[in-house]
Amino acid sequence: MSEDAVGLLRALIREACVNTGDPASGGEIRAVRVLQRFFADAPVEIQVFEAAPGRASLIARVPGTDPAAPSLGLLGHLDVVPVDAERWTRDPFGGDLVDGEVWGRGAVDMLYLTAVFACAVREVALAPNPPRGDLVLLAVADEEAGGEYGLKWLLREHPEAIRVTEALSETGGMRMGGHVAIDVAEKGSAGRRLVVRGRPGHASIPFGAESAAVNAGIVLQRLALVEPAVELGPLWDAFVAARIADPLLAERMRDPVRLDTALGELGGIAGYAHAISRVTISPTVLRAGQAHNVIPGEATIDLDIRTLPGTTDEAVDELLLDMLGDDAEGVEIQHLRGWPASESPIDNPLFAAVSRAVEQASGAPVVPIMAAGGSDARLFRGIGVPAYGFGLLSAGWSYERYREMIHSHDERIDVESVRLTLDALRRVVAARVGSAFGA
Ligand SMILES: [Zn+2]
């Protein structure tokens, strides 16, 4: 029942498993305890793994009867990002239910989905007939900081426990025009640090010195002048068709040369359209100098670079060298943490089941899209397990509203979206692992 999902969602919000990126944060063991109680009356195999003290993940598996049937994984994270509590209208960890909306950090990203996933697994476990294939809840720690203490660790240390042949996770269910968007791909990340040098000296006698801070400024200006080329991938056409009603505007968007002239007319979707149509480069952290009176000999510029499927590490370095041109001389490129872009094929039975289920539950067709950001789904794609975003948000949830709501103040989700998502998920589960419920 969707009331169970709403109750579970509120309970998970109240555990406040805030992940700051510090290994000692998170405390997902508290949310795991909530789930253990939720499954207490269900005949399901529960395993709890702790990657580090407090950094717990829970795996709940309902075994199927047919070894040849698919094993469907439902991957939800338990951690949430920090809050600025003063800017919230309500307690961010109160889990209040007001006027049909559940308030709290993580309500959208992604505790509502984790709760719906848990409900579906419990329903299948309690059904009179076992499913054909395995249905597995993977409620994991540390997604918000890259999964080192969550899915990444589980894949390395306990691959048998989390073995599935296909998976659903975040993100999906946002309305894209008259369509419902489902993530089937994600951009990658290829962080770089540019080390820029100069000639240090005393700031009281600057003649003959060359400030690395000034050189960093020159490099930054150069990066701001040139933009990586537009690359329209295989999902672009479907996005334009779903979202852009004006045929002339749509035509310009399909032309890589004219696309950027159209961005200004796209309103709230412009940022997304820009991000998924190219590699993006955002300078984020600058460092130069230690003391007020010393001309720095070295400066660093950290770049957050998001790549497209197929962009290699070498290609990123070449792109930077090209952009810097003459100024590349003396600039050293260091590699920061990253991960490749990932995509799952859409000519796949799980994606077909998701499309059918979402359309049946909402009346709206699905449009497969690429996410500009990253999620744990990429880790499954990385080992060849097809993974898609999931969700079915109510009609008012445009892509822009979704983007505004995640990681923001006053994060909240309507009960109707929880109900719709559970409805659609039951259909997917029935189609893929053939449970007896809902029939
Ligand atoms: Zn998330």
Kind of pairing between the strands at 97-98 and 172-176: unpaired
- CB atoms < 10 A from the CB of 390, how many? 29
Instruction: Report the separation in Å between the CA atom of 432 and the middle of ligand 1, taken as the mean of its atom positions.
Output: 24
Please give the distance, rounded to the nearest whole angstrom, from the Cα atom of residue 84 to the centre of ligand 1: 18
Q: What is the chain's mean pLDDT, rounded?
A: 96
CA of 239 to the centre of ligand 1 (A): 22
Q: 394 CA to middle of ligand 1, Å?
A: 19
| Domain regions of the chain by residue span | 2-185+342-433, 186-339
At 435 the pLDDT is 60
Assign 434 a pLDDT band (cuts: 50, 70, 90): confident
pLDDT at 436 (0 to 100): 46
User: How remote is the CA of residue 91 from the centroid of ligand 1, in Å?
Assistant: 20
Q: Round to whole Å and give the CA distance between 343 and 345.
A: 7
Rounded Cα–Cα distance for residues 225 and 194 (Å): 17
Residue with tokens 């796949």: 348
Question: If DSSP codes are grouped into helix, strand and coil, which group holds residue 268?
Answer: helix
Of 236-245, 367-376, 429-438, give the lowest mean pLDDT range. Answer: 429-438
Residue from 34, 79, 78, 39 nearest 61 by CA: 39
Å from CA of 114 to ligand 1 middle: 10
**């310009």: which residue's tokens?**
252
Calculate how far, in angstroms, residue 110's C-alpha sits from the geometric centre of ligand 1: 5
Distance 191 CA to ligand 1 centre (A): 20
Give the pLDDT band (50/70/90) at residue 438.
very low
- Give domain 2-185+342-433's CATH superfamily: Zn peptidases (3.40.630.10)
> Can you list the alpha helix ranges (DSSP code H) found in 133-255?
151-157, 212-225, 236-243, 247-253
From the CA of 170, how far away is ligand 1's center (Å)? 6
Q: Report the separation in Å between the CA atom of 406 and the middle of ligand 1, taken as the mean of its atom positions.
A: 8
d(CA 402, CA 390): 13
Asked if the domains 2-185+342-433 and 186-339 are classified in one and the same CATH topology, the answer is: no
CATH of domain 186-339: 3.30.70.360
- The pLDDT score that the predictor gives to residue 1 is 67
State the distance from the centre of ligand 1 to the C-alpha of 57, rounded, in angstroms: 15
The alpha carbon of 107 and the centre of ligand 1 are apart by a number of angstroms equal to 10
| Cβ neighbours of residue 312 closer than 8 Å, sequence gap 6 or more | none
- How far, in Å, from the CA of 109 to the mean position of ligand 1? 4
pLDDT at 344: 98
What is the distance in A from the centroid of ligand 1 to the CA of 374? 9
Tally the C-alpha atoms within 13 A of residue 1's C-alpha that lie toward its C-beta.
3
| Residue 406 confidence (pLDDT) | 87
86 to 90, 94, 321: CA distances (angstroms)? 9, 14, 44
CA of 376 to the centre of ligand 1 (A): 8
List all residues 6 or more positions away from 101 whose beta carbon is below 8 Å from its beta carbon.
412, 413, 414, 415
Q: What is the pLDDT of residues 90-127, one digit of tens each?
A: 999 999 999 999 999 999 999 999 999 999 999 999 99
Confidence label for 226 from pLDDT (cuts 50, 70 and 90): confident
| 144 Cα to the center of ligand 1, angstroms | 6
Q: What would the pLDDT profile of 294-323 be if each residue is shown by its tens digit?
A: 999 999 999 999 999 999 999 999 999 999
Q: Where are the beta strands (DSSP E) in 226-307?
A: 280-288, 294-295, 298-307
Position 439 pLDDT exceeds 60: no
Q: Is the pLDDT of residue 283 over 70?
A: yes
Q: Distance between CA atoms of 26 and 279, rounded to whole angstroms?
A: 31
- Furthest C-alpha separation in the chain: 85
Evaluate the CA torsion angle 262, 268, 269, 273 in order and state its sign. Answer: positive
Q: How far is the CA of 108 from the centre of ligand 1 (A)?
A: 8
Per-residue confidence (pLDDT) for residue 437, from 0 to 100:
45
Q: How far is the CA of 217 from the centre of ligand 1 (A)?
A: 35
User: For the segment 384-421, what is each residue's pLDDT rounded down to a tens digit?
Assistant: 999 999 999 999 999 999 998 888 999 999 999 999 99
